[in-house]
Amino acid sequence: MLGKMGLKPFSIYEINELTHGEPDSPRIVSFKMRPKDGQKVTFIPGMFSSLFLNPNDKLFRSYSIASSPNEDYLEFMIELINGKFTSQLAKLKEGDEIYVSEPRGAFLFDSNGGGKDMFLAAGIGIAPFFSMLRYLKQMNQKKDIYLFYSIKHRDDIVNPLELETYKALGLKVIYTVTRDPDSIPWNGERGRINIKMIQSHAPDFAHRTVYLCGGIKFVKDLVEELKAEGMKDEEIKRDIWGE
Ligand SMILES: Cc1cc2nc3c(=O)[nH]c(=O)nc-3n(C[C@H](O)[C@H](O)[C@H](O)COP(=O)(O)OP(=O)(O)OC[C@H]3O[C@@H](n4cnc5c(N)ncnc54)[C@H](O)[C@@H]3O)c2cc1C
C-alpha cells in the first residue's frame, strides 16, 4: 500500500528505549528507536510514520512522531489500548526490531512563521505537539502559543514537568480534565475543550494558527465551533485519528 503511494515501504529500526507512563497512566508508552542502517531520517514536526511488526504484514498503524527532527532517533508515544495492533506492540522489548515507514502527512508545523499559534490536544493527541515544542526548544526559538490539553484524569498528563519548561519559550498551557469528579482537587479546567473555554483564556484565538489533534469527534466538533466564530478552514490545521 505504501509502495503504491510512491513511498519506500519502511526501514528497519531497533527499539532502544521503552518508557512506561506514570503509575496512573501506564498505558502510555514511549518507544524510542533508531534506524539500523544509521541513516538520519528527516521530517517536519507534526508528521507521522506507519509501524509494522513484520516486513510482510498487512497490519500496520500510524503514529505521530513525538521527537524533534534534530535527534538521531524517532520517539512515538503510544496508548496501549489492547486493540489489534497495540496488543502486539505491548509485547515488544528493548532490542527488538520494528519496521517504520518514511514520515509523511499534512499536519505540518510552521516553526518559522512569526504568527501566534494555538494547539488543541485530546489525550494522546498531545504526541505531535511534543515534536513541535522540542524542536522549538532546540532551535532556541520563542513562539506565542496556547496549548489546550484535555485529559480524562489529572494523572494522565504526559511529561508534565517537560511541558513546564516550555513556558520559557512562550507556551501557555491550559489543562482540562474530563472524567475526574469535582471531589478531586484540581486547579485547571474541567470538561471538554470548547469555544467558551478557548475564549476565556485566549481571546485573540481567531488571530492564531490552530493545530488540532485527537479523535474524530474532538477534531470535528472543535473545527465546527471555530468556524462558527469566523475562522477560515485553512487557518485550522488538523490531524484526525480514527474512523
Ligand atoms: C495520523 C495518525 C497518527 C496517530 N498517532 C498516534 C499516536 O501518536 N499515539 C497513539 O497512541 N495513537 C495514534 N494514532 C492511532 C493509532 O494509529 C491506532 O489507531 C491506535 O494505536 C489503535 O490501534 P489498535 O490496532 O490497537 O486498535 P484497533 O483494534 O484498530 O481499534 C480499537 C478501537 O479503539 C479506538 N481507538 C484508537 N485509539 C484510541 C485511544 N487512544 N483511546 C481509545 N480508543 C482508541 C479505535 O478508533 C477503534 O475503534 C494515530 C492515528 C493516525 C491516523
pTM of the complete model: 0.95
- The residue contributing the CA closest to ligand 1 atom 42 is 81
Instruction: In whole angstroms, give the CA distance from residue 139 to residue 212.
Output: 23
Three cell numbers, residue 139: 532551535
**Cell numbers that stand for 176 in this block:** 482540562
Tell me, yes or no, whether 92 and 129 share the same domain.
Answer: no
Closest Cα to residue 217, out of 118, 150, 137, 146? Answer: 150
The domain containing residue 43 runs over which residues? 11-100
How far apart are the C-alpha atoms of 147 and 117, rounded to whole Å? 9
Q: What is the pLDDT of residues 67-106, one digit of tens each?
A: 999 999 999 999 999 999 999 999 999 999 999 999 999 9
Q: Is residue 106 part of a domain?
A: no
| 110 located within any domain | no
Residues 5-57 pLDDT 10s: 554 578 999 999 999 876 556 689 999 999 999 998 999 999 999 999 998 88
Do residue 145 and residue 86 come from a single domain?
no
SS3 50: strand
CATH code: domain of residue 131 = 3.40.50.80
Domain count, the chain: 2
Quick one: pLDDT at residue 200?
98
Q: Based on the fold, state whether residues 235 and 125 are members of the same structural domain.
A: yes
The best mutation among 2, 29, 30, 81 to test binding of ligand 1, ranked by most ligand atoms within 8 Å of the C-beta, falls on 81
pLDDT band at 3 (very low <50, low <70, confident <90, very high): low
Using alpha carbons, select from 101, 99, 102 the residue that is nearest to residue 12: 99
- Centre a 10 Å sphere on the Cβ of residue 206 and count the other Cβ atoms it contains: 16
Atom of ligand 1 nearest to the CA of 123: 41
Q: Among 76, 100, 124, identify where a domain stops.
A: 100
From the CB of 48, is ligand 1 less than 6 Å away? yes
Ligand 1 atom nearest to CA at 128: 8
Which of helix, strand or coil describes residue 156?
helix
Please give the pLDDT value at position 204.
97
Q: Does any domain span residue 181?
A: yes
Helices (H) and strands (E) in the chain, counts: 5, 12
Asked whether 190 and 180 are in contact (CB, 8 A), the reply is yes
